[in-house]
Each structure stands twice: as C-alpha cells, then as structure tokens.
Amino acid sequence: MRAFATLLHRYAGLLIAGFLFVSGITGAVISWDHELDDLLNPHLMEAKAEGPPIPSLELAKQIEARNPDIRVTYVPLAPEHAGTSLDFGVEARVDPQTQRQYETGFNQVFIDPASGAELGRRDWGAVWPITKENFVSFLYVLHYTLHLPEMWGIDRWGMWLLGIIAIVWTIDCFTGFYLTLPPAKQRANTIDAAAPTAARSWLRRWKPAWLVRWRAGATKLNFDLHRAFSLWTWGLLFIVAFTAFSLNLYTEVFYPLMSKVSQVTPGPFDVRTPRSVHDPIEPQRTYEQAIADGRAIASERGWTQPAGSAFYSPEYGIYGVSFYSPEDDHGVGGAGHKTLYFDGVDGKYLGDYLPWRGTAADLFVQAQFPLHSGRILGLPGRILISALGLVVAMLSVTGVVIWLKKRNARVRSARRDTVAVGASIDPVRVR
C-alpha cells in the first residue's frame, strides 16, 4: 500500500507541480487585487472633478453613444468612495455583417462621476500587451484559466484543465498526508503495549515529520520543508484544492453533483443554457425598468441597503440588481450582495440571491469563493491565503527537487551496478 501511495504521490505531484506553482504565486498576489490596482492605476481610479454626480444610467447612455459597437453590461450606481471613479463594464456588440463580435479592445470604461469625463479604458484580463492597467487582471485570469484561448467555440478550456488539476490535488492531499505517517511496521510494534503508551510511542515516531532540520544540509532541509509545511498547512491546502475544483468545474461537475446528494436551490443562471457571445439575447427591457422593479421588491421586503449596481448578461438574457452600500466591497464574508434577477425580454422576476441564506447545501455552495479567497475571515483570511499561495509554490518546487535528487541517485546506482557487473567478467574467458 505504501509503495503504491508513493508512486501515486510522486507522479501526481509531478503532473500538478507546474500548475500549482503558477496558481500559488498568482494567488498570493491577487489576494490584494483591488489595492494593487488602485496603486498602479490612480489615473483610472481617482476622480478629481467637483460637484454633484451625474446619474450613472445617464453616463451609461453617453458611453454607448460614444461607442456604438459596445453595450454597457455593468453599471455602478454610486462611487465606492468620494473622489473615486465609476468603472462601467462593457461588451462588444455583434457585427451584422460577420455575425461575430466587434473587436473593440476594451471591456471597462472609467468615468468621473461629477464631470462625465472618460478617465480611461482597458481590456480587463487581456493576455497581451501586459501593461500596468491590466497587470493585476492578467494575473487574476491566469490564476484560474491560464489564458488558454477559445477553440471550437469553447472558451473554458483553461478552467476545465485547472479544475482537473484541482481534483488531482485534492486526492493527492490525502496521499501525501498518509505518507507522513510512520510506516506500518513501526506502528505494529505498539500493538501489544498499553493504549496510552502505544499512542505516545506512535506520536513520537510521527513527530519528526512536523519538524524542519534547518542545519542538516540542503537535501534534508528541502525534504523537511516539503513534508513539514504540508502537514502544518494541510487543512488549508485541502480547502483551497477542493474549492478550486468546485469553482472551476461548478457548472460541469460541482453543481450537478451537489444537486444529486443534497437540496440546492437553483438560481436563474443554473436553469438556463448560455448563448454564444456571438449570438447574444437582445434585451427588450431597460436598466431603468429593471432597477425600478428591483427597488420595488426590495422595499416590499424591507431591505435598507440601496441599489448599488446593476448588470445585464447578454449570454443568459438576465438583468441583475444588487443591493449594498458603495463601500461594501465583496459583501458579508466575501459571499457577494443581495441580488434580484429579471428577464431581459419580458421583465419577469426570476429569483434572488441572498448571501448566507438558504438550505445547508446552498450555504456550502455559497462558501466556496469566500473559503478559496480567504475573504470569509476578512483581512486576516486574505493575509493567510496570500501566505498559503507562497507555501503552495514552495511545495511545488521542493517536491520536484526531491524527485530529481532521488532520480539522480537511482541513475548513479544503476551505473555503479553496471560497472560492477562488467568488472566481474573474466576478460580472458571472454576472449
């Protein structure tokens, strides 16, 4: 069993090491995505004009009037803080001649809310060129898609690949943990002893796995860093691995699986099949109508938060209106905001999203991103996840180094055996 587990851990580790190194480094950085973005791009984030803000829906109309090839898909209804810009999300319309999306080169527009002046635009998540405007978003998308391009009309190859890597990583968490335990023969020596004594003996044998021999030489230090840090962070590693799988393969695997084993309340996006970006659903309703409908329902429910933003998904034909205060970034515990959904064609109310509300399965599903990002614990959680990203990268490197050293040792041993066999042959008798 142990020999099989060793082989499984070795080759699973080699398979996922490169991917985890990239994900670990990028994860450590994007834990601070908003802060880094603000630091790198004050010309986009800061608004200097004075005076009352222009209504966001009016600004959205101005953006579309200046750029007839795009539609506004996200409308922030108030700036996050005084002196900050409004970032509008946009998406290219379809060229009636080619029946393909226009190539606009940007998907975000930053507006000064008081003057209506355009502060800049960028292609969030663009692969190339990498500039300070899209650097953070480049890392963000790299973290969960590797920027693998669209092929055969499918743009989720990167998410699928990293979702599979996450499954292997989740399983390998248990394999690696098992290999830190004392070998079966050592454990058997404690069977005849009294239970407390046996437990203490077993723990003494396991204790070295938790320690790092800092002055024992490079080889032993590398091995101890790999083993000890894996143990001390095992619970967090498992959580991050599992949530990486659930987030990347949510539609394809995680949600269908959860629906079979527990009661998950489907949302509007779970029951609709998305259209291609080249075949969007044209809305027959306006943002004004969707927001008015949302405010009416929110008032009936006694919600005190204002409408903070609205969006339209052309692929699903759904409007969403979210309710929160402007400074409330990712919502309570990183689970997002209260949101009401409406059909973009007939305006029918489609349902809602209420963070940390619903069945036990709903809460488990909602917890995936907050757990993966650490935002469930606020600032301390983000610090923890950022540090864990560096640990993941370190474990990837040390694991490969362990394999290389053992492989080189096996090669040298095989060469010595070959030389020894050759030397044992009598050259006279051979002739």
- Measure the CA–CA gap between 339 and 354, rounded to whole angstroms: 7
Q: Is the pLDDT of residue 420 over 80?
A: no
Q: Is the pLDDT of residue 195 over 70?
A: no
List the alpha helices (DSSP H) in 207-286.
218-232, 234-248, 255-261, 268-271
What domains does the chain contain, in order, with CATH numbers? 273-357 (3.10.450)
Q: Average pLDDT for residues 214-233, to the nearest whole number?
A: 91
**Ramachandran quadrant class, 208 (left: phi over 0; alpha: psi -120 to 50; beta: rest):** alpha
pLDDT for the residue 425: 58
With a pLDDT cut of 70, the percent of the chain lying above it is 93
pLDDT for the residue 26: 95
pLDDT for the residue 228: 92
Q: Is the pLDDT of residue 414 over 90?
A: no
Side-chain-side CA neighbours of residue 106 (13 Å): 16
Q: Which long-range contacts (CB under 8 A, 24 or more apart) does 265-270 make?
A: 265/358, 265/359, 265/362, 267/341, 267/351, 267/353, 268/316, 268/318, 268/341, 268/350, 268/351, 269/313, 269/316, 269/318
Listed range (183-192, 258-267, 273-282) with the worst mean pLDDT:
183-192
**Which one is predicted more confidently, 313 or 425?**
313
Q: Average pLDDT for residues 96-110, to the nearest whole number?
A: 91
